[in-house]
Homo-oligomer: A and B are copies of this chain.
Amino acid sequence: MFEQGSGDENRGASMASIADVAVAAGVSRQTVSNVFNAPHRVRKETRVRVEAAIEALGYQPNRAAQALRAQASRVIGIRIESIQADSLTTVHDRFLHALAEAVQAIDHHLLVFAADDPDDEIGTYSRLHRTGAVDAFVLYGIDEGDARPAQMLRLGAPFATFGRTGHDVDHLWVDVDDESGGAAVAQHLVARGHRRIGYIGFPEGSSVGERRVTGLRGVLDKHGLLGESAGLDLRGQDEVANGARLAAVLLDRPDPPTAVVAASDTLAVGVAQAARTRGLVIGRDLALVGFDDTPTAGVFDLSSVRQPIEAVARCIVRALLPGLPAGRSQVPACAEQSTPQPPHGRLLAPTLVVRASSAATTQGRASSTATTQGRASSTATTQGRASSAATTQGIKG
């Protein structure tokens, strides 16, 4: 089996080339080319004739020939991560899909590759760059202290990152404003009457986790609740089991919090497990909010801070644009509005999606359980801080 088989029907029959179209339309190659790339140079009558020939032959310009001539492949590269066994958080696949759409909008293709480790990853970037297979790269999941951006600058390969390293390396980056997300959660919970709010986050060193709790604390401080929530801040790897373990610590205290914020939906699911084994009903006895708004959050009716992944993908493509071959397609919009932005970077505000797990107030509590409660959910942007001047400062288009 699998001997030759189908698949090479028209190998050798070759696709129509620009020369074939030229002959069919009775013009030269260049005129056909102009119909695509500089229509104003072609007389209307001629253009119609050429377009008819293009249609008839089903002609499409050969990508390899264009790439060779233009010294640009119109391909964006990104590493595809392997799924993590213990995490339910899948922002990566949503980002890949969003990025595929974003690069298509500027007539580019998306090339994905697997890498075993950061060294293999950098090696692959280098190879893809030197072979001309890829024009620019997108690096996912960059956090403080990551060595890859500096290595990329050394390679000389154009790139942009989702996430930022800090202030030392200046490269193009786009990131979610996690601080604003944390603040939105705090505002939401405080408005619902919670005063003792627990936090279960990523280990020290994750600046994403730190920013989330910083935003949270900022609002609590503003309401004079920082003291009441003192000592309710625990950390662990992003796994369900850790969420459960750490939540147990919080819930078994003599003065347990009435609300818990988890740095991810994965951790939040663990919190829900721990609460359940203690007979607590999420949404009634304990408010719970996660981050990322993965399918998991929807399924378990958990409130969650939704990342603007699609906007991130568009902004990254937009950031790369100046280094790419002249975009013939219209420049796509990136994000609606924006607060003042740092150089080289772009911060996008996430959105809190409120579901049954945190919808009730501490006074009049919800009567039904979280899992059977209705699906009605409200959303609220975290960008209350956006000044009226924001639109004039943001990216045009």
Question: A-side interface residues toward B, CB under 8 Å?
Answer: 1-11, 14-15, 58-65, 67-68, 71, 73, 75, 80-88, 90, 92-94, 96-97, 100-101, 104, 109-114, 127, 130-133, 136, 153, 156, 158-159, 170-172, 239-241, 244, 266, 269, 273, 276-277, 295-296, 298-299, 318-323, 341-346, 369, 371-372, 395
Contacts and interface: CB of A to CB of B under 8 A. Distances in A.
A55 B52 CA distance: 50
A323 B81 contact: no
A126 to B, nearest CB: 8
A328 to B, nearest CB: 15
Nearest to A293: B85
B90 A7 contact: no
B87 A323 contact: no
Given A93-B90, A96-B80, A7 B136 contact: yes
Contacts of A298: 85-86
A63 B133 contact: yes
A60 B1 contact: no
Contacts of A127: 60
Contacts of A114: 97, 100-101, 104
A341 B172 contact: no
Contacts of A241: 299
A65 B63 contact: no
A132 to B, nearest CB: 5
Contact of A299 (B60, B86, B110): B86
A354 B112 CA distance: 33
A7 B172 contact: yes
Contacts of A68: 62, 64-65, 68
**Copy count, this protein chain:** 2
Contacts of A346: 1-2
A241 B82 CA distance: 28
A313 to B, nearest CB: 11
17 contacts: A1-B344, A2-B322, A6-B172, A7-B159, A60-B127, A64-B68, A68-B68, A80-B97, A83-B93, A83-B295, A96-B112, A110-B111, A110-B112, A241-B299, A244-B371, A266-B299, A277-B371
B60 A83 contact: no
Given A63-B67, A104-B114, 9 more contacts: A1-B342, A2-B346, A6-B323, A7-B159, A11-B323, A63-B131, A88-B295, A93-B96, A241-B299
B295 A85 contact: yes
Contacts of A273: 371
A388 B61 CA distance: 52
A67 B321 CA distance: 25
Most buried by B among A7, A276, A345: A7
A65 B3 CA distance: 30
What are the 3 A-B residue pairs with the smallest beta carbon separation, nearest first?
A7-B323, A7-B158, A64-B67
A281 to B, nearest CB: 11
B299 A88 contact: yes
Contacts of A2: 172, 318-319, 321-322, 346, 395
A311 to B, nearest CB: 14
Contacts of A93: 83, 90, 92-93, 96
Contacts of A239: 299
A111 B111 contact: yes
Contacts of A101: 114
Contact of A87 (B5, B86, B295, B395): B295
Given A93-B93, A114-B97, A172-B6, A73 B83 contact: no
A156 B12 CA distance: 12
Nearest to A92: B93
Nearest to A375: B241
Nearest to A84: B295
